[in-house]
Amino acid sequence: MNQQNNNNYLDTVQTDVKPPFIIAIMHKLVPFSMIWVSLVLMYAVICMYTNTVGQDEFYRFIFFLRSPVVVVLNCFALLVSIFHSIIWFNLVPKTIFSYRTDKKSQSYLFIVGLWLVTIFVSAYLLFFILK
């Protein structure tokens, strides 16, 4: 009898809402896009290390980046990483403010704060690189 009551309670608490198919696919593709970005960065470091011998490796890396397949894969990896950051920025306040009473306004402020920090750091790095 007690087990049946527990099962009924769990049925009312847990929802079987499935995310849309494209969102589920995006969740599965996050690790692959991060692996792709890591491999491209590793190739860049190897080319820059061997660049001390001559300029050939650097130009080989630049031509590699200009390939249409690599451009498409990099754009896809950028979109997946933006999606990933949106999901995580929305989940962080739910875990931090889970015991507070007025968590909606605090969570929106926290999400906006995370995005502002991300935009500020990205802009700073962009200006540092272009300088």
**Which residue, 78, 89, 96, is CA-closest to 111?**
89
Asked if the model's pLDDT at residue 28 lies above 80, the reply is: yes
Q: What DSSP state is assigned to residue 126?
A: H
pTM beyond 0.85: the answer is no
pLDDT in tens, 103-129: 667 778 888 888 999 999 999 998 988
Contact 100, 106 (CB under 8 A): yes
- For residues 36 and 41, what is the distance between their CA atoms, to the nearest angstrom? 9
The pLDDT, as a whole number, for residue 100 is 59
Q: How many residues are there in the chain?
A: 131
